[in-house]
Amino acid sequence: MSENKFYLRMEGISKAFPGVQALKDVNFYVARGEIHALVGENGAGKTTLMKILTGALSMDSGSVSLKGSHVEINTPTDAQQLGISMIHQELSLIPNLTVGQNIYLGREPRWKISAFIDWNRLYTDSQELLSQLDVDVDARAEVGSLSIAQQQMVEVAKAISLNADLIAMDEPTSSLTDRETEVLFDTMRSFKKRGISIIFISHRLEEVFEISDWVTVLRDGSLIGSEPIKDLDEERVVQMMVGRELGEMYPKGDVQRRGVILEVNNLHDGRELSGVSLELYSGEILGVAGLAGAGRTALAETIFGVRPAITGDIELDGSPVKINSPGEAIRLGMGLVPEDRKQQGLFLNRAIRENIVISALGKLSRFSFINFSKADKLAREFAVKLDIRTPSLRQLVRNLSGGNQQKVVIARWLTLNPRVLILDEPTRGIDVGTKVEIHALMNQLAEGGVGVLMVSSDLPEVLGVSDRILVMREGKVVSEFSREHATQDNIMHAATGGKVNSDK
């Protein structure tokens, strides 16, 4: 095999952060026109490797070559000039600029004679890019007004507009719907035909197997293997990732449901919800499925007081309650793990420990002194339960890997011992091993009598975890299925408005 077969060669890459060896002597080779999946558990080093490739981080040792020649990539501009672009795991768009401004930031098209920005061209070109991607977003809209999925697609449009030969996509699909993912995959396939290489990071192995030609697995910063997809199956990849056999993906105990703990009647938020009613029982996991825009997040947020309800009643344990803010919801014994954990959940410049216990602090302080040893114990307990990978709980959350940051938010809500726990996309961006842990924790909570309401776009998860499933469409609950009768087909059917046989 000739050395130049590879478009990209990264060799002997090492990188240490205080207390963590994030990459240990990693070799990574990508061929031209190949879709190359990079997989591994949360904290395995995937993002670090891509940041080194794209000049966002420097390496301690190692070398990089492109098309057979050694290259020095010290800044993101170096990478761009070499035809390498990256779609970041944490969205890096500027919320108060428009979509078009974000796409062409720093390289705005200009009038030939004057140096003024050609706004018309900027917006026409961006709109064209978006429509190529089948994204229904106005290029003149402010990015801050878009959903996370839409923002993700804007990132994709931006990467494409850079005309790169190599695109690193760090979990581009984690907040996309199936339909949006398919559109992205079509785009990736057409890139491939044009000889563009793509590095694809995802925790969804079905996707990895659908789209990739080659898979490289990292574990704890080391290269575990790199093989063509045709020589692998999911089980083997999981084994390489976690280094052990994994238990049942959806452990499900025999939980007895008790009385109704939360009742919602005819809830409207004046925008996305048009009359939602539901009952959540103590001891059950109620799954809420539906397409993006069906109102699932609106439902979670309206119940929890994040958005005001226009009309509708909520009863908790049989008593009517008014929930006008998340603070009130928390006082009533409710918790919400939000979908957009990065924006709504974390204090990035605070320690992991503080982030975990911050909501529980009220319970841990007496005479307004914080009981630090209790706080420490609590933080440690949940860090272990959720397998948060870090050298120290004093580490800033900013320095955690994406998936580990998510675990911190989940841990925080669990410390509150809520009676009703709402989880919006609880395992998005979470690795397979921890997914199992989170599902097990949800079961434990239900066994302990908590009512768990889980919104998820991951159908196998909805089917595997829920005792009962509601399907939402256009701001309403349109179907209900028992665990026994729910299938991927009848849920999708209900979600898209086809005819289905539901239990009701």
Ligand X SMILES: Nc1ncnc2c1ncn2[C@@H]1O[C@H](COP(=O)(O)OP(=O)(O)OP(=O)(O)O)[C@@H](O)[C@H]1O
- Which CB atom, from 125 or from 171, has the smaller least distance to ligand X? 171
Least distance CB 231 / ligand X (angstroms):
23
Q: Which does 326 bind (CB under 5 to 8 A by kind): ligand X, Mg ion, none?
A: none
**Looking at this protein, which amino acid is placed at residue 198?**
I
What letters, b where the CB count within 10 A reaches 16 and e where it falls short, cover 293-319? Answer: bbbbbbbbbbbbbbbebeebebebeee
Calculated CA dihedral for residues 330, 332, 336, 342, nearest 10 degrees:
-10
Q: Which of 28, 29, 37, 47 binds ligand X (CB under 6 A)?
A: 47
Binding of Mg ion by 202 (CB under 5 A): no
Inter-residue long-range contacts of 340-343, CB under 8 Å, 24+ positions, other chains counted: 340/148, 341/405, 341/406, 341/409, 342/90, 342/91, 342/405
Stretch that binds Mg ion, among 63-71, 111-119, 234-242, 402-410 (CB under 5 A): 402-410
In whole angstroms, what is the distance from residue 166 CA to residue 79 CA?
10
DSSP string, 288-314: EEE-TTSSHHHHHHHHTTSS--SEEEE
Q: Which of 9, 46, 158, 204 binds ligand X (CB under 6 A)?
A: 46
Point out which residues pair with 435 in neighbouring strands: none
x/- binding map, residues 428-457, to ligand X, per CB under 6 A?
---x--------------------------
- Give the three-state DSSP class for 178: helix
- Give the three-state DSSP class for 403: helix
Q: Which does 45 bind (CB under 5 to 8 A by kind): Mg ion, ligand X, none?
A: ligand X
Q: Which of 88, 176, 85 is nearest to 133 (CA)?
A: 176
Stretch that binds ligand X, among 43-51, 125-133, 191-199, 313-321 (CB under 6 A): 43-51
Binding of ligand X by 426 (CB under 6 A): no
Least distance CB 55 / ligand X (angstroms):
15
With 0-12 / 13-18 / 19 or more C-beta atoms within 10 angstroms meaning exposed / middle / buried, residue 324 is exposed
Q: Which does 286 bind (CB under 5 to 8 A by kind): ligand X, Mg ion, none?
A: none
With 0-12 / 13-18 / 19 or more C-beta atoms within 10 angstroms meaning exposed / middle / buried, residue 423 is buried
- Which CB atom, from 188 or from 400, has the smaller least distance to ligand X? 400
Binding of ligand X by 17 (CB under 6 A): yes
141-170 residues in contact with ligand X (CB under 6 A) are: none
Cβ atoms 154, 102 nearer than 8 A: yes
Stretch that binds Mg ion, among 14-22, 81-89, 283-291, 460-468 (CB under 5 A): 81-89
x/- binding map, residues 394-413, to ligand X, per CB under 6 A?
-----xxxxxx---------
Binding of Mg ion by 402 (CB under 5 A): yes
127 is written with which tokens?
């709109």
In whole angstroms, what is the distance from residue 254 CA to residue 248 CA?
15
Q: Which does 389 bind (CB under 5 to 8 A by kind): ligand X, Mg ion, none?
A: ligand X
- Give the three-state DSSP class for 346: coil
Q: Which of 48, 126, 152, 427 binds ligand X (CB under 6 A)?
A: 48
x/- binding map, residues 366-395, to ligand X, per CB under 6 A?
-----------------------xx-----
Least distance CB 273 / ligand X (angstroms):
32
Q: Which of 8, 13, 20, 86 binds ligand X (CB under 6 A)?
A: 20
65-104 residues in contact with ligand X (CB under 6 A) are: 89
2 is written with which tokens?
């000739």
Cβ atoms 476, 274 nearer than 8 A: yes
Q: Which of 47, 297, 390, 434 binds Mg ion (CB under 5 A)?
A: 47
Q: Which residues contribute to the site for Mg ion (CB under 5 A)?
A: 47, 89, 401-402
Contacts with ligand X, residue ranges (CB under 6 A): 17, 20, 22, 40, 42-48, 89, 389-390, 399-404, 431
